[in-house]
Amino acid sequence: MMAGQFDPKMLEALVCPETRNTLKYDADKQELISENAGLAFPIRGGIPVMLVDEARILAD
């Protein structure tokens, strides 16, 4: 893994801060998706930003 890349194995330890449910990794958009909360958390420099205020609201 190159520096700044997200390690998908981190998904085993991460949950949505809003719902406490599991997340899905979107490699193309570099986001972690919480379908239950309708939020996408950005990954910046390989580090997930797990703040609700920083999340993108998913369109229906």
Question: What does the domain layout of the chain look like in residue ranges?
Answer: 8-57
CATH class for the domain made up of 8-57? mainly beta
Secondary structure string (H, E, C) spanning the chain = CCCCCCCHHHHHCCCCCCCCCCCEEECCCCEEEECCCCEEEEEECCEECCCHHHCEECCC
pLDDT tens for 23-37 read 999 999 999 999 999
| Mean pLDDT, residues 39-44 | 96
pTM: 0.87
